Amino acid sequence: MALPRFFAAVVACALLAGTPVLADKIQDIDRQYRDGDLSAALDRTDRFLVQNPQNAQARFLKGLILADQGKTNDAIAVFSGLTEDYPELPEPYNNLAVLYAAQGKYDAAKNALEMAIRAHPGYATAHENLGDIHAKMAAIAYDKAQALDSANTTAKAKRTLIRNMLGEPPDKPATAKPLPDPGQPAPAR
């Protein structure tokens, strides 16, 4: 579910078309973000949002920056606000799902991805991410089944199969490793 920072930022710039002057300012901030100057990019985004508080591109970019800075709860607040103000955009839901999954909140991640798919049924990234969440939830369920009945060879085999698919070691509990890298929100494709 992780994605290179520049691709996620490109999505932010493509969310909504603004006036050329506003678009230029956002592109400059996006460039700073892609160059890794997160503090300066966040500062410029905040200043931009004072004048343009409803600009979806800038708000999305702010969420990406906050996520990359490890400010997960702040990023969640930004993406949640975007889903309320622009429920037709699937990308904020998708990024919410990545952040929730990083916190081990798989039900919340699943719900966010289902909303992304409702907003845009052809959004392949959300479908793929939903599959990853279902696989992660299955691994947790198989772990529990194995813990409750260590002689259950079927649950053990399924657990091993899912773990291999997720790239996890077969002997570690599924809840020990969150699915995505919280600093790399997944994008829209």
Residue 22's domain is classified under what CATH number? 1.25.40.10
Q: Which of 24-28, 129-133, 184-188 has the lowest mean pLDDT?
A: 184-188
Give residue 58's identity as a one-letter amino acid code. Answer: A
| pLDDT tens by residue, 73-98 | 999 999 999 999 999 999 999 999 99
Query: How many whole angstroms separate alpha carbon 112 and alpha carbon 62?
Result: 19
**Residue 158 forms part of a structural domain:** yes
Considering only CA atoms, which of 122, 119, 114, 85 is closest in space to residue 97?
114
Contact 3, 132 (CB under 8 A): no
Total domains in the fold of the chain: 1
**What does the pLDDT read at residue 5?**
40
Residue 114 tokens, joined: 């289902």
Query: How many whole angstroms separate alpha carbon 67 and alpha carbon 105?
Result: 16
**Residue 53 forms part of a structural domain:** yes
**Residue 185 forms part of a structural domain:** no
Q: Which domain holds residue 22?
A: 5-176
pLDDT above 70 covers a percentage of the chain that reads 78
**Residue 181 forms part of a structural domain:** no
**What does the pLDDT read at residue 168?**
84
**Residue 186 forms part of a structural domain:** no
Whole-structure pTM value? 0.78
